[in-house]
Structure 1
C-alpha cells in the first residue's frame, strides 16, 4: 500500500501542476499533504518530516549553490549593458560577406551568451529581440532564422560555465555518493562541477560546429535563404578588425578566466562565479554602459531568477523526501532493474521519460525531482556519473527544442513579430533537433566524448 501512495503522490503533483499552480508550491504542498495523510494512516514514518528542516538548512549552507546567483548576475550584466548586442553587430559584419554568415554569427554569439547566462529563456528571448529583426530585414528565410535562434539559445544547457551544469553537478555528486553507499562501498572520490564542465566542453563545441556546418550547407544548397550582407553596408564600417577585437576579446577573456580558474583548480565554482560577476561589471564600465538604472535592472533580474531556482529547490527537496518516505525510490529501483536490456534498457526509459517531462517542466524541476531518484539507481548499475550528467543535459536540451511543447519555441513565439507563424518556428527547429539526436547518439556510442577530457585533466 505504501508504494502505491508514492505513485499517487507523483500523480497528484502532476495534476496540481496541470491545474496551473506554481511548480515550487505544487511540489511542496502535495508532498506535505500526502505526508500528513500517510502519518494519519500509519503508512508514513514521521522521521522523514523531521528531516525536512535539516534538508533545507543543507540547501542554504551549500557553498556550490552560491554560484547560481553570481553566474546569473554575470550573464544578465552582459545582456543589460549591451555587450551582447555590440558583439552580435560586429560578428555579423565580420562574417557578412558569406552567405549564411549572419546565421553563423548568431550561433557564436548565442553560444557565448548561453555560456554566461545559462538560462534558456533569457538567451532565446535576448537573441530573438536582437537578431531576429536583423535577419528578417536582410532577407533570411524566417524558418532558418527561427531555428538558428532557438538552437543557439538552448546551448546554455551544455556549454560551460552555466548554472544548469552547476545545479546538475551538485545533484549528480550526491547521487554518486548515495550509489556508493548502496553498493556498500566508500570512496573519497566524488563528482565535481568542474568534472561536468570538462565533460560538456567537447559535446558542446561539437554542437556549435554542427550548427555552423548546417548553415554552411544551407548557404550552398539555397543561398537565397541565407543571403550575405550587402557590400556597401560592410564597407561603411571603419576599423572592422579593431571593433571585432574590442567586442569579442573582453567577453571571451571573462568566460575563459571563469572556466579556466575552475578547470585549473585555482578556484571553486563559487569563487570563479564571483570573479565572473565582478568582471562583467568591469566590462560594462569600460563600455560606458554601467549606471544605476542598469545595475538596478540587473539586480532585479538576478533576484527573480535566483529566488525561482531556490524556492523550486526547496519544494523539490520536500517532495523527494516524502517520495522516499513512501518507498518510491525502491519501487523505481525495482522497475528499472527488472526492465529487459539491463542498464541500457533502464537508461533508455529514463531518458525517454525526462525527454517528455522537458515539455512541461523546466530543467530545474527535473534536476531536483527526477535526477535524485533515478541517478543513484543508474549509477549502481555501473554508469559513469560524468557521462550520465552530460547525457541528461543534452537530452533536456533536445526536449526544449522539440515541438509542440518545447520551451524555447514558446519563448521565441513571445518576442517574434506577428508575421512569423508558429508553424514556421516549428519547422525551423527540425534540422537542429536532428543534429541534437545525432549528437546524443554519438555520445551514447562513444562515452569518451564526455569522459576523456575530465580523466585527462584530473587523472
Structure 2
C-alpha cells in the first residue's frame, strides 16, 4: 500500500524489514522489565513514560539496523555508486545522449531499422555512464520513443527496443547492481566486471541482429 501511495520502494522495504524484525525479536518480558519495576515502585508518569519508550526501543532489531548501516557506510566500494550516478547526470545534462542518438541515426540511415539500431547503440553506450536500468529507459523513452513513433515504427517494436536496450545497464560495466552484489557477497567487483563485459556486449549484438532482422 505504501508503494502505491508514492513512497520510494527502498524506504518501504526498509520499513517492512524493521517491522518484521521487530516482531521477530519481540520479548515483552525483557524489553519492558524496567517499566514493570517502575510501576511496582509507584513511579510518576514521566518516569513511566521514559521507561516505556526505552523498553520499546530495547529491541535487537535496532542494534542490527545500526550495525548494518555502519557496515554499508564504511564500505569503500560503495562510494563508487554516487560517483557513477553523478557521471550519468553530467552526461544527461550536457545533452550528449541526444547528440549521440542523432549522430548514430545519420550514420546508420542505410541499415534496416536505422532508428532502432541507433537507439540500441545509444542505450549500450549510455549504460556505461549510468549503470542503472531506470535512467537509460527513462531518458531513451523520452528521446527515442517519440521519434520512432513519428517515423511510424510499431508501438510494441519501439517499446521493446527501448526496454531491451535499457536492461543492458545492469550487465555492461560500470553496473551499480554488480557493485552492490560484489560488496554484499564479498566478491571482487573488478572480476565481476570482467565476467559481465562480454555477455553484455554479446547481448547487445544479439539485440542489434534481431532489430535489423525484424525491421
Classify the TM-score, shorter chain: 0.7 to 0.9
Distance in 2 separating the partners of 1:152 and 1:214:
12
Greater C-alpha radius of gyration: 2
Q: Where does 1:337-416 land on structure 2 (aligned, <5 Å)?
A: none
User: In the TM superposition, what whole-angstrom CA distance separates every residue of 1:77-118 from its partner, at most 9, and x where no partner exists?
Assistant: 111101111111011101101221221111111111122112
1:194 has 2:197 as partner? no
**Cα deviation, residue 52, structure 1:** 3.1
Which string of whole-angstrom CA distances, capped at 9 and with x for unpartnered residues, describes residues 112-171 of structure 1?
Answer: 112211222211111111112222233322322221111111211111112121112212
CA distance in 1, matches of 2:11, 2:137: 26
Note closer, same or farther for the CA distance 1:33–1:142 as it changes in structure 2 (3 Å cut). Answer: closer
CA contact (8 A) 2:120 2:208 kept: yes
- Which residue is 2:48 aligned to? none
5+ residue gaps, structure 2, are 32-57
Which one scores higher on RCO, CA 8 angstroms, separation ≥ 6? Answer: 1
CA distance in 2, matches of 1:123, 1:72: 12
Aligned to 2:15: 29
1:307 alignment partner in structure 2: none
Q: Residue 390 of structure 1 aligns with which residue?
A: none
1:204-283 matched pairs, under 5 angstroms? 204-219=200-215
Supply the distance in 2 between the matched residues of 1:20 and 1:122 (Cα, whole angstroms): 19
1:130 to 143, 146, 149: 143
Report Cα offsets for 1:370-391 as digits up to 9, x if no partner.
xxxxxxxxxxxxxxxxxxxxxx
Q: CA deviation at 1:16?
A: 5.9
**Which SS does the other structure have where 2:172 is aligned?**
coil
- TM-score, normalised via structure 1 length: 0.38
The answer for the alignment partner of 2:79 in structure 1 is 66
User: Which residue in the other structure is 1:106 paired with?
Assistant: 119
* Residue equivalent to 1:85: 98
Query: Which 4+ stretches in 1 moved above 6 angstroms?
Result: 42-45
Give the aligned CA root-mean-square deviation in angstroms.
Answer: 2.5
- 1:196 CA displacement: 1.1
Task: Determine if contact 2:128/2:173 at 8 Å carries over to the other structure.
Answer: yes
Corresponding residue number in structure 2 for 1:40? 27
Partner of 2:130: 117
Name the CA distance, whole Å, in 2 between partners of 1:61 and 1:70: 16
Q: Cα 1:145–1:20, aligned 2, differ >3 Å: closer, same or farther?
A: closer
Within-5 A mapping of 1:155-166 = 155-166=168-179
- 1:373-432 per-position Cα deviation (integer Å, ceiling 9, x unaligned): xxxxxxxxxxxxxxxxxxxxxxxxxxxxxxxxxxxxxxxxxxxxxxxxxxxxxxxxxxxx
CA distance, structure 1, for counterparts of residue 118 and residue 83 of structure 2: 27
Q: State whether residues 22 and 61 of structure 2, in contact with CA within 8 Å, keep that contact through their aligned partners in structure 1.
A: no
Distance 1:58 1:64 in 2: 11
Alignment TM-score, normalising by the size of structure 2 = 0.77
The Cα offsets for residues 329-357 of structure 1, whole Å up to 9 and x where unpaired, read as: xxxxxxxxxxxxxxxxxxxxxxxxxxxxx
Task: Note the alpha carbon deviations across 1:57-81, whole angstroms, 9 max, x for none.
Answer: 2211111111011001111111110
- Tell me how far apart the structure 2 counterparts of residues 53 and 24 of structure 1 sit (CA, whole Å): 17
The separation in 1 between residues aligned to 2:163 and 2:194, in whole angstroms, is 24
Structure 1 residues 295-318: Cα deviation after superposition (integer angstroms, max 9, x where no partner): xxxxxxxxxxxxxxxxxxxxxxxx
Question: Which has the larger displacement, 95-104 or 206-215?
Answer: 95-104
Pair 1:34–1:148, CA change in 2 (3 A): closer
The answer for the alignment partner of 1:170 in structure 2 is: 183
Q: Deviations over 1:160-186 (max 9, x none)?
A: 11212111221222xxxxxxxxxxxxx
Residue number in structure 1 paired with 2:157: 144
Q: 1:21 to 1:143 in 2, by over 3 A?
A: closer
